Every structure is written in C-alpha cells, then in structure tokens.
Structure 1
Amino acid sequence: MTTELDERTRTELEAAAFRQLVEHLRNRTDVQNIDLMNLAGFCRNCLSKWYRAAAEDKGLEMSYDDAREIVYGMPYEEWKSKHQAEATVEQQQSFAAAQARADH
C-alpha cells in the first residue's frame, strides 16, 4: 500500500533524503567521483549541477562553485587536494565504456 503524501510533506522528505545523501558522500571521501559515475551514472558534481539548476528554477542566482561547496562541504579545490586520487587506467576505461553506452 502506498502512502499518499501532500506536496509539502513529500518535498520535506525528499529534502531530508537529499541531505542524508550529501552527508553520506561527505563522510565517504574514499569513494571517488569516477567510481560513482561508473557504478551509478552520477557523482558529487552532478548533484552540484542539479542543485544549482534547482536554485535557478526558483529564480536564485548560484554559481557552480557555490553549489559544489554545498555538496562537498568545502571548496571543491580543497576537497580535491585532500581526497581525490588519480583515476586508474581501469577506472578511466570503465568511464569511457559507460559514456559510450550512454551516447547510444
């Protein structure tokens, strides 16, 4: 049985789930964006772009860097220097294969 939700409650639940996802990704710095892209087809940068697009849909001006800082919990360049590893050949090959499949 599916519970009927009013629009406000649905939005609040979605927002809570999004906040939990962002917090989870902030804590899982061992999970690289390329791994997320290879396995799920999205990454922290995608979330940042979606967040920025949602802000713009509401008439709010937001830079990509500002959206990234919201998702990463720090400036992107700082996160990158602390946590981003060089992609392996295997990761790069998986990414290329996934992109090729997505283009079809």
Structure 2
Amino acid sequence: MNERALRWLPFGGDHDQNAADSASQATTGGGGGEPVCIGTVDGPLRAEIARTYLEQAGVTVHLQAESASSLYGVVSGPLGVVQLWVPAAEAEEAARLFSELDFGSA
C-alpha cells in the first residue's frame, strides 16, 4: 500500500519511469515530479501540525525523520528534526503555506 501511495519519493527500484509518473499523478492529484523538501520542524508533534495544515490546503505531504528519533523517542535537537517533502509541482504553494506557520520560540 505505501509503495503505491509514496511512489513519487526517490526510493529507487526497478520501476519504469512512465509507470511511476502515471502512478504519481494518480496518487498525488497530478503533482508528480521529484519530491522537494520545503522545510524542517523540530519534533514529530510540530511535523504533524504542519502536515495537517498543508493537507487541508490540498497539498500532499510526506514526513521524513531520523529513524533514531522514533526508536529512542527523541523530540528535539538534531535527531528530532523532521523534514517535510512535497511533489515538485506543489512545492511553491506548499512553501508559501509552510511559511505562514508560526510555532513560536518555545
């Protein structure tokens, strides 16, 4: 299930490029293209808030965190950083929306 839903991510493999492009259009609303990291947030809670905000605006988002952060429960510092990835076609709008988020200095 995740393989089809996240086909636009650079996992590599033997997939035909045309099949991957058509699958990305089907799963991301036509977004397609290489994924783009539009920013980072500190911790999984802020990442989920950012993802929810972007998805409510119609942007497809994938969160990528260090594997050690979930293993050891790290939520701050270098291991607690979570990247937000979106399809290239949605990157400009996603970056604009992401810049509107304000998590304060806490």
Check whether TM > 0.5.
no
State the structure with bigger RCO (CA 8 A, min sep 6), 1 or 2.
Answer: 2
Structure with the largest fraction of helix = 1
Structure with the largest fraction of strand = 2
TM normalised by structure 2 equals 0.28
TM normalised by structure 1 equals 0.29
Higher Rg of the two aligned structures: 1
